[in-house]
């Protein structure tokens, strides 16, 4: 070691970002931030635990998904997310079929449903781990059977918790939406996500320029 040349600290590692979800809706939302990211399937069991509440299920699964993907990408900042529709304490997941979607919408018509949307951010190398829950209160109109059938045939939202796409024709099913993070109902609360990934080491707006 030459004492005439002081040691210089190595620059911090530029962390990559990984979305631990195969949801195209979450991928499209994250693309709004205009930063590069990879996508990886979390491969976790999404079965609810005995007595688990909808909000508890959503937040646990968001963390489990982020942790699972983080083990494959230990140097990266990993986002996990989950959403569970909460009808008076009853969890409603993705219907998967037309018949289940009909049953869900019949249950929800005229009711207020809380869409519990959780996001978690994990980085194994730095030890960062944080999660947050965005609860979105949605009031459904008193839908007729014909309206339900016509909507489902038109949009086929069988991969959406609660059987409705608020960003599409599903908005016509609703009376009101009450939340503090506008994209949460679609599946990823971007305000919370931005806050957490920045805390984990991801830089946003790095190349932004002020326009006169």
Cα distances (Å, whole numbers) of residue 71 to 20, 47, 174:
11, 21, 40
Measured distance CA(88)–CA(86) in Å, rounded: 6
Rounded to whole angstroms, the maximal C-alpha distance in the chain is 83
Do 106 and 136 contact (CB within 8 A), yes or no?
no
Residue of 38, 82, 159, 180 marked catalytic: 82
Strands of the chain (E only): list them. 17-19, 38-39, 77-87, 90-92, 112-123, 128-140, 174-178
Q: Is residue 82 flagged as an active site residue?
A: yes
Measured distance CA(66)–CA(186) in Å, rounded: 19
Cβ-count burial of 110 within 10 angstroms (0-12 exposed, 13-18 middle, 19+ buried)?
Answer: exposed
The residues, ordered by sequence, that sit 6+ positions from 166 with a Cβ below 8 Å of its Cβ are: 138, 174, 177, 185, 186
Site of tokens 């569970």 = 84
In this structure, the dihedral spanned by the alpha carbons of residues 65, 66, 72 and 76, taken in order and rounded to 10 degrees, is 160
Active site members: 82
């Amino acid at each position: 070691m030459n004492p005439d040349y002081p040691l210089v600290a190595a620059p911090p590692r530029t962390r990559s970002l990984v979305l631990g979800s195969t949801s195209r809706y979450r991928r499209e939302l994250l693309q709004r931030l205009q930063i590069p990211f990879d996508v990886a399937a979390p491969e976790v069991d999404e079965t609810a635990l005995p007595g688990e509440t909808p909000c508890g299920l959503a937040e646990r699964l968001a963390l489990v998904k982020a942790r699972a993907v983080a083990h494959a990408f230990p140097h990266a900042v990993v986002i996990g997310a989950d959403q569970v529709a909460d009808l008076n304490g009853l969890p409603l997941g993705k219907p998967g079929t037309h018949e289940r979607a009909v049953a869900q919408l019949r249950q929800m018509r005229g009711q207020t449903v809380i869409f519990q949307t959780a996001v978690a951010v994990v980085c194994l190398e730095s030890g960062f781990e944080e999660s947050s829950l965005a609860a979105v209160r949605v009031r459904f109109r008193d839908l007729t059977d014909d309206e339900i059938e016509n909507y489902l045939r038109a949009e086929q939202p069988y991969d959406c918790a609660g059987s409705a796409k608020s960003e599409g024709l599903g908005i016509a099913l609703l009376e009101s939406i009450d939340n503090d993070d506008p994209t949460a109902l679609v599946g990823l609360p971007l305000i919370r996500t931005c806050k957490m990934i920045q805390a984990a080491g991801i830089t946003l707006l790095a190349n932004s320029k002020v326009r006169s």
